[in-house]
Chain A
Amino acid sequence: MQRFTATAKSALIAATGLAALTSIGALSAPAFAEVVENVELVTYTLWARQDISGPLRAGNVVKAAGLLNEALAEEGSNRRVQVVVQESPAAGFDDDALQLLRVFGIGEGPDLFIQSHTWICAFEKEGFVANLEDLIQANDWAFGTIFPTLWESTKCGGDRYAIPQDAEARMFFYNKKLMREAGISEEDIESLPARVLAGEVTLDGLSDIAKQVVDNTSAEYGILHRPSVGPDYIMVFNSYGNSFSDPETGSLLLEPEKLEAAFGWFERNVQIGVTPANNTAMEWGDIREAFYTRDNAAFWMYGIWDLASQAFPIYGLPKEEEAFFKDWGWTAVPPVVAGGTASSLTHPIVYAMSSEVQDKDLAIRLLGFASDADLNTDHAVTTAHLAIRSEQLDDPRYQAAWPVARATELLDITQYLPNNAGFADLNRVIYTALQGVETGSLSAAEAAQFVVDEAEVQLDDVIVR
């Protein structure tokens, strides 16, 4: 619980339950626990990245302070809680995590923070994050119904260090109009997701469909992927058998042959004119415009939340389910060989607590209220993220939000990025190699070797097999 400077941090103050405190001026007090007229006000600082695809990640913690204060009042406690949000303007979660590690390093870390699950073990390695295992078990009322698989994304060495805040589904979106124009039958177009899940369509098969579109329509692009470091393209590496994690030691695992095979898929896509050589140099806006509004790309490898934060409000795609699926669709990532298993990838964002927090019992109750089904559903339905609890699936709001309701089925085949302190660095290396492959600077084999070489220089804990 750190001191905070009002001018340096944007603050959101929990209003509910704090009206009386406001009247006596307690909100302006910067102290962690201040006793004013028998009310002990506990201030928690919360670090959150500014992110239009998830404003309620922090907002729900602020609301939770109100719920917790009501509970404390009912219990007859004189303690009250307020949350001060420190917003980071980092461009992505990797930049945000690096910034937060530096902040912790100089002793200015927040009490609570919101991070990508892949970074939690980096914080654990440095001793910045609290082990929540006992606290989670002691607060079953708050965390008992969170999907068991999501907890896996919060573990370092077997213990849980964070609380899942959301999940999502990543997939290939596709443009049905272009497929029709390319001469693909309506039946094949509509059955594509089912055929992928059944293992009938492979990754190369997907490339063939994209090639058909490029060859037979005016569309320039077959398959587009993100132009920055991120999780989506890792799905293809997963399909080729790269788990990046050694199950016995927890170390990062590199298997050059499997890496080469995955890079080979991207290399072939460029060679046959399906993916542009400059995909990694393209602007996000140009990619989305090409796919969503200009009918200029057959597939777009990304995630379900893009519909709520970009496709509907900015690019004008139809919000109604029927209208959307008339011309658009999505499919899981196909297997490499026929009969294999399709996959998706989820990249949970998590709540974590600083190891320096004194009253962890109170802080975990705050996070418990922030993980409340209603509050989490608010986040899920407004930003197209998947639920974290089973009871959310029955919520009429969740069922009415068809993108998340439909995408939830992908949780059955979803995979996670490894919870390893070095994975974010490894992912940056993989992305650089991918850029090298697509621009022709590296062959697939050279890219695999590049990843191994760079990982050995940059990372301490890598097994090459």
Chain B
Amino acid sequence: MGAISERFEAMPHRLASSKARQRVNMIVFLGPAILLTLAFFVLPVIVDVVISFTDMGRSLRINEFTFKQYEKVFVGDRRLASVITLTFVYAFLTLAIFNVTFGLILALLTTAIPKVSGGFFRGVWLLPRMSPSVLYILLWVWVIRPSDSGLLNQVLKQIFGVKEVVDLLTTAPLALIVVSNGFIGASMGMIIFTSAIRGIPEHLFHAARVDGAGSLSIVRHITLPALRWPISFITIYQTLSLLVSFEYILLLTKGGPFFDTTVLALYIYRRAFQSGQYAYGAALALFLIILGVVVAMLGWKFLDMKTLLQKPRIEVN
């Protein structure tokens, strides 16, 4: 009895020390992540907001706090509407053609063939993603170069006898940035979709075969329903990614000709770093952040992510 009462007396101490240990563990395990999040995500947004309310120009000096950058965003900048439209057209085309559709086709094809071959082809499609951005775009620049030394023009000239030099940078700049970005974006969807397809219980495919289902029916009635969550995830994730990334476009077309390939993120870069309008660039960047949040929330609602993220009621083994 004495020993039991001692244990009961010691419990509050243990509970206290357990809570203290939990706090220490939280700091040890989450602390670095929280610090990094604050330093690289929260702080830049705060800095951006502050700069956007200043007149910071080419010399990085702040002379006054002002709303004039937002006046430019909403009233003065006549180019902005067309840039935003182009951004959504670019994001939609890249997403619809490559990041989701082509990624899905690659996943379906590479899981339908023997594992080694499938792995090889997936590896090939991952190469652009693994290459440095500059190297990848340098290859594109060489391919589309509007002269006899460009690969495309050499092929057209030597094999198809085309005499006129083809200049995709001038004639089809939007298609060019969609394809060059899409080749990289497709690999992300391919990986996610492949793992999702691999996660579908195999007996479902065998049962469908026994029931006489063809390949397309199996894809339509078994594979695609199981990919609803990954497709929704890829759609939202890649939309946000396409809204903010511009490095491939900058390297390939510099946003031109004229503003034909200047998406919003690149437009912000051009305003801030090519013209030295840092405060205006910050205001535009904040506008982009808000745009991204709105797009993400709309995607969350219309793709019903909440339902998809619920815990399954029945575990299939």
Contacts and interface: CB of A to CB of B under 8 A. Distances in A.
Interface in A132-172: none
Contacts of A438: 257
Contacts of B274: 98, 428
Contacts of B217: none
Given A278-B146, A436-B258, A98 B78 contact: no
A126 B60 CA distance: 10
A101 B258 contact: no
A459 B256 CA distance: 22
B59 A104 contact: yes
Contact of B257 (A105, A126, A441): A441
Nearest to B147: A286
Contacts of A283: 145, 147
B59 A128 contact: yes
B167 A278 contact: yes
A454 B76 CA distance: 9
B169 interface: yes
A122 interface: yes
Given A439-B170, A453-B78, A457-B77, A280 B61 contact: no
A11 interface: no
A126 B58 CA distance: 9
B146 A102 contact: no
A439 B72 contact: no
A98 B58 contact: yes
B169 A98 contact: no
Interface string A434-446: 0110110110000
Q: How large is the interface on A (under 10, 10 to 19, 20 to 34, 35 or more residues)?
A: 20 to 34
Interface in B264-309: 273-277
Nearest to B75: A457
A158 to B, nearest CB: 23
Interface string B36-63: 0000000000000000000000111100
Nearest to A425: B275
Given A98-B276, A106-B60, A457 B78 contact: yes
Contacts of A98: 58, 273-274, 276
A101 B59 contact: yes
A263 to B, nearest CB: 13
Contacts of B275: 425, 428, 458
A283 B76 CA distance: 34
Contact of B146 (A126, A282, A428, A432): A282
The A interface is mostly helix, strand or loop, or mixed, namely helix
A101 B256 contact: no
B58 A122 contact: yes
A281 interface: yes
A277 interface: yes
Contacts of B72: 457
B61 A281 contact: no
B60 to A, nearest CB: 4
A432 B258 contact: yes
Contact of A126 (B59, B76, B78, B259): B59
A283 B61 CA distance: 36
Contact of B277 (A128, A436, A458): A458
A128 B60 CA distance: 13
Contacts of A425: 275-276
Given A281-B146, A435-B257, A436-B257, A102 B58 contact: yes
Contact of A280 (B60, B76, B77, B257): B257
Most buried by A among B72, B79, B260, B275: B275
Given A277-B170, A286-B147, A454-B79, A435 B60 contact: no
A441 B60 contact: no
Contacts of A456: 76
Contacts of A101: 58-60, 276
Nearest to B80: A457
Nearest to B164: A220
Contacts of A105: 58-61
Contacts of A122: 58
Interface string B63-88: 00000000010001111000000000
Nearest to B61: A105
Contacts of B259: 432, 436, 441
A281 B60 contact: no
A435 B259 CA distance: 9
A435 B243 CA distance: 25
A91 to B, nearest CB: 11
Given A105-B59, A286-B147, A281 B79 contact: no
Most buried by A among B58, B76, B79: B58
Nearest to A119: B58
Nearest to B274: A428
Contacts of B78: 453, 457
Contacts of A453: 78-79
A442 B146 contact: no
6 contacts: A104-B59, A105-B58, A425-B275, A439-B257, A453-B79, A457-B72
**A-B complex: 10 closest residue pairs judged by Cβ atoms:** A105-B60, A105-B59, A436-B258, A278-B170, A439-B257, A441-B258, A101-B58, A281-B169, A126-B59, A278-B167
Given A278-B167, A436-B257, 13 more contacts: A98-B273, A98-B276, A104-B59, A105-B59, A106-B60, A280-B257, A281-B146, A281-B170, A425-B275, A432-B259, A441-B257, A454-B79, A456-B76
